[in-house]
Chain A
């Protein structure tokens, strides 16, 4: 994140405060992923909103960042208040909040199931409640986009995996609804990606599309579903963050995120095309990427849950590849925009940044059993 936003330090635009926000957010995320009881997880789950909002409002580019910040806060807080009610309900039912001892179903009402699950579904985000994500990603600075795509969305998935353990008795009867929304939503969002002309907005919508399959995997309550979701969350975090870095590299040169302007980049910055190709191929789960492992495991989990999921999964894969190839081809091939002024080719800092995203993405698949079967 610090490598990506070097311009803050170069221009001394409240660089110390920026560094503080990034480190504060990192510490909160460490605490949230490392917390062993439900209440502390809830505390840090909410706490990460403040530095994220500061990053978007303080270092974003356009006036629309105000609306994006409001969407982010209102969507997440509105969904998280029922989560607090659910946490209190869990404590009343079982007398404890520690994850290790909450293995048996302890909640007796469907109301608590929706309370616990909804906050994470908005966070992850599920289709229909995903509107905050493209706004927040587009208006956030590159550091904000990287941390949002790379880690913050995964908090929702992590939370779902944690709570699904003691919501099993409702999950078996009610999860079909979330699977239906995610599969159809993923399909529709991939169609939306095909008509995007803003690069950052496109990567944001592709995040929603990928996370839809993650939600489906968790909702099947299969071991393979959990493992596949875990792998795909890691893979998506690296891939999406890397794509945002690439978009920012181009944006720093042309000053525009529009696909109409950022085209034919292979003629201008050929050494960046290889990274576009590698990260885009990982995005569409081409071998040998970690996305492939996650998607294969998730497809198997979903098809074992119900054969009807094949209908949507085929459409998801096809249109996922379609928009990825369309974007790669449009941005890299063909003639470049005639109105571009001279700019630098590539910095080593940017090369390192993208390499550090790609390296685990294509190498971790060689350690498949270590990566995927942690749970």
Chain B
């Protein structure tokens, strides 16, 4: 019944069958490797090697080696790191100086200070 699907083009059907055949082969190889009693018997642990995971981990570990300083990346660095630090520092300094000026010129009584203890 399944091989008499009339709404599937022959090329599509061939592609699905090839994919399924490869998947079954890989699955059998995986089951064969993961149920290896000698490997389980030693108790050494470890994982079954997966090239996809290894490639991903290597990619994440070597990200900086492939980093290129371009105007776009430089703008990212400036916009998210340098300028916010400078702006926030300026705001902290201004607020702190204004607060200290009020305390030192007697505009705020000692008893009215928000934080009295150091």
Residues 331-375 of A at the B interface (beta carbon under 8 Å): 337-344
Given the known interface contacts A198-B60, A258-B53, A307-B95, the answer about A183 and B88 at a Cβ–Cβ threshold of 8 Å is: yes
Judge if A176 is at the interface, Cβ distance under 8 Å: yes
The answer to whether B80 touches A304, judged by C-beta atoms less than 8 angstroms apart, is no
Residues 77-118 of B at the A interface (beta carbon under 8 Å): 80-81, 84-86, 88-89, 91-93, 95-96, 99, 114-115, 117-118
Judge if A312 is at the interface, Cβ distance under 8 Å: yes
Judge if B61 is at the interface, Cβ distance under 8 Å: yes
Q: What A residues does B29 contact at CB under 8 A?
A: none
Residues 260-276 of A at the B interface (beta carbon under 8 Å): 260-261
Judge if B50 is at the interface, Cβ distance under 8 Å: yes
The answer to whether A304 touches B84, judged by C-beta atoms less than 8 angstroms apart, is no
Stretch touching chain B among A39-47, A116-124, A146-154, A249-257? A249-257
Q: What B residues does A341 contact at CB under 8 A?
A: 34, 39-40, 44-48
Q: How many residues of B contact A (CB 8 A)?
A: 34
Q: How many residues of A contact B (CB 8 A)?
A: 40
Within 8 Å by CB of B47, from A185, A222, A255, A305, lies: A255
The answer to whether A176 touches B115, judged by C-beta atoms less than 8 angstroms apart, is no
User: Separation in Å of the A218 CB from the closest CB of chain B?
Assistant: 14
Residues 4-61 of B at the A interface (beta carbon under 8 Å): 30, 34, 39-41, 43-48, 50, 53, 56-57, 60-61
User: Separation in Å of the A375 CB from the closest CB of chain B?
Assistant: 12
Judge if A11 is at the interface, Cβ distance under 8 Å: no
Q: What A residues does B81 contact at CB under 8 A?
A: 128, 184, 188
Query: In the bound complex, what is the Cα–Cα distance between A177 and B118 (angstroms)?
Result: 20
The answer to whether A254 touches B45, judged by C-beta atoms less than 8 angstroms apart, is yes
Given the known interface contacts A176-B89, A224-B118, A339-B48, the answer about A260 and B53 at a Cβ–Cβ threshold of 8 Å is: yes
**Which positions in A face B, CB cutoff 8 Å?**
64, 128, 176-177, 179-181, 183-185, 188, 197-198, 222-224, 252-256, 258, 260-261, 303-309, 312, 337-344
**Which positions in B face A, CB cutoff 8 Å?**
30, 34, 39-41, 43-48, 50, 53, 56-57, 60-61, 80-81, 84-86, 88-89, 91-93, 95-96, 99, 114-115, 117-118
- A180-B89, A305-B96, A341-B46 known; 8 other A-B pairs, CB under 8 Å? A198-B61, A252-B45, A254-B47, A256-B57, A303-B115, A340-B46, A342-B40, A342-B43
